[in-house]
Amino acid sequence: MVLLAACGGDTVSLVSTPTAADSPFPAEGISTTFSPQLVETVVHLYEMEGHLITSRELWGRQHLQEAAAHAAHPHAELFFLVQGPLAEKKAGSDQHLLDALQRLVYLVANGADDDEVQAAYEAAFAAIEEAATVLAGETLQDPTFVTLVIISLLERANQEYTEAIESTTVVNLEEYQDAYGYLISARQLFQRVADEARARDIEEYFKVADTFEQLGSLLPATASPPTPPADPALVSADIKTIQVELAEIFGVGRNEMTVEETLAFISRTLEQAIVTYEAGNVEEAYELAASAYLDGFEPLERQLSAQDYTSLVETLEVQFKQFRTRIRAGVPVEELRALQQKIEANLEQVATALKNSHIPSKTTTSNFKEEHT
């Protein structure tokens, strides 16, 4: 997860920037601590919302088969990731969410009456929001927490869009549609903190708002992408702009890790991804693989490039992407193990390169901001 140091069960400590006097959010200078697991679980709920946003738009355009497919994603791919935390927080809350999701899938797939389907969409959206409230409570109103969720959700959108487009062609429409839904969900979350963002820094607020508008023009509709589709580099740049500006507005930071700790995190997370993949949890394995890159290797890229290791960076970028795409493709575990060994061999070169570097061996928020500004 971007801007999080995902180290086991550690918490993420953040210091909020000063708030406006009449703000409903935490008072000035309060140190806010969030569990990475809580942030991640809430992100999964808003991924569900993104899928349903896409599904409802497709349903409204009479793309019924695609609408049914996207309506099924929350139940089939994400529910198991939130079921345990929900049940632990409030008995029956997991079943309430599941019932709403399953009813929607049934009605959309079976061509039910329009009013009934529309009511089922609204009920599913409400159940997702209720689940988020069960998990996070008042924390769901904290702008720093919401910012972390937005940043991570945007990163999911970035991943999906990048993998949907190849050589100015949409090669995977479903992933394009996933990206669209995640972006809409992230934009709706931004509206919750928009007044607070404007009060804290009006210039950066408008930069975020304008960039969301620009992303909306790059991905204008879920059913029919523009021809040719927007360059993934442009979409990625806009997403990074929003992430950086929101981090600046709400004082989001990340725990520092040494190069050695970061490399250990990468290795551990890749291994967790393979073990999870072997257990049949493909989506969770994919998220772990993405985290190994986004939370682990990506923060080291600036240091490596500054030391003229651009070729090594490019090689690892390709290998991390191959690792993710092969998980999605369902390749044999042995193939993932072979690629893991290649990545580990190159990470040994990273360790050697940065061990002799005079650049400070800490990955921090400031590196993220400089790299993507």
Tell me whether residue 311 is in a domain: yes
Same domain, 158 and 106: no
Choosing from 224, 253, 282, the residue where a domain stops is: 253
Amino acid symbol at 112: A
Tell me whether residue 26 is in a domain: no
* Residue 361, pLDDT score: 39
Same domain, 156 and 56: no
Q: Which domain holds residue 365?
A: 257-372
pLDDT band at 160 (very low <50, low <70, confident <90, very high): very high
Residue 243 host element (H or E): helix 232-250
Same domain, 125 and 192: no
Same domain, 210 and 314: no
Q: Which residues of 328-365 are buried (b: 16+ CB within 10 A; e: fewer)?
A: eeeeeeeebeebbeebeebbeebeebbeeeeeebebeb
Choosing from 221, 253, 285, the residue where a domain stops is: 253
Same domain, 355 and 277: yes
Tell me whether residue 8 is in a domain: no
State pLDDT tens for residues 264-303: 989 999 999 999 999 998 888 988 998 888 778 887 887 8
Q: Please tell me the least confidently modeled range out of 123-127, 140-144, 285-289, 293-297.
A: 293-297
User: In Å, what is the CA distance from 144 to each residue of 24, 47, 250, 252, 363?
Assistant: 13, 19, 6, 7, 20
Tally of CB atoms within 10 A around 246 = 27
Same domain, 81 and 176: no
Token pair 């709920």 is found at 45
- pTM reported for the whole predicted model: 0.65
Q: Which residue, 304, 327, 338, 39, is CA-closest to 159?
A: 327
Same domain, 150 and 189: yes
CATH number assigned to the domain comprising residue 343: 1.20.120
Tell me whether residue 202 is in a domain: yes
Tell me whether residue 2 is in a domain: no
Tally of CB atoms within 10 A around 317 = 14
**Count of domains forming the chain:** 3
Same domain, 276 and 362: yes
Phi, psi torsion values for 201, nearest 5 degrees: -155, 100
